[in-house]
Amino acid sequence: MTEYTQRFTCDHDGNFRAIETFDGDCRLTAKTVYEYQYHLNARSGMEEPFRWHEKYRFIREVLAITFHYDHGVLAGSYPPGRETVDVGMEDVSTYLGHVCLCGAGGFRIARLAVKLLREDGPPLEKGDFVLIGGRDHTVSDVIAYVLGCSRRKDMSRNQYFIDENVEDVRREYHYFIGYPLEKRAVHVIYRKHLLIGNEMMDRLWKVETGYEEDPSTVSREEIDLYRETMLKMVKEVLKGRKEGLFELQPLKYDGFLSRLERLR
């Protein structure tokens, strides 16, 4: 890690100033260095630093999803003349705190759905989607995050639902995504079990739950297996073309509304 003799802060205009001085042998925390590099690179036009392990750098090659966002325009969040925001896999990883299969699956599903719903038109409006997930898990949360679907107690304003009555086979998940502004909807099926099979998925799940309860109970070999397999699966979900892993079915909007009304 690069050593600095001062801690920096950045004001609203992007100017740096030192707020604390250290002895020459004192290091800043990784987070502080990252934030300093991020702002410095942003001002100079350089690529921002990659915060994850280098083996996951390929996530930067995955195209982001471009949305129009009226709230960002109203708030003056964007540079003059810009009305869109990109949401990429790095944003998802920051949201979750790590790069993982759930993040990759949710992002890929959102990207596929937006591509179908948008067709050849302009960017769709972030925050104007409605999501019905067939399972209450992280993948659904990621889709909601990417699309801007908010969960509200007021069901008439809620944009994120879980339908526990959706029938599915083991590790085959269903997501229904509507775009009310244009009365379009799509059904996405994610056959996660096709990645490595349910038996290996069960094995990895056992490693994960064991590590969360007590890291000392998990062997080095199990950790290596988990990490190597996770890397392969994330890459396959984001960049691979495994047949049948994802299936998109356009929905009649009236059918989507009928499913939605049952949940409301």
pLDDT digits (tens, 9 = 90+) for 55-99: 999 999 999 999 999 999 999 999 999 999 999 999 999 999 999
DSSP of 153-183, one letter per residue? SSTTT--EEE-TT----TTEEEEEEEEGGGT
- pTM above the 0.95 mark? no
- How far is Cα 188 from Cα 133, in angstroms, rounded to an integer? 10
228 three-state secondary structure:
helix
214-261 residue pLDDT tens: 999 999 999 999 999 999 999 999 998 899 999 999 999 999 999 999
- How far is Cα 168 from Cα 223, in angstroms, rounded to an integer? 30
The pLDDT mean for the chain works out to 85
Better pLDDT: 135 or 172: 172
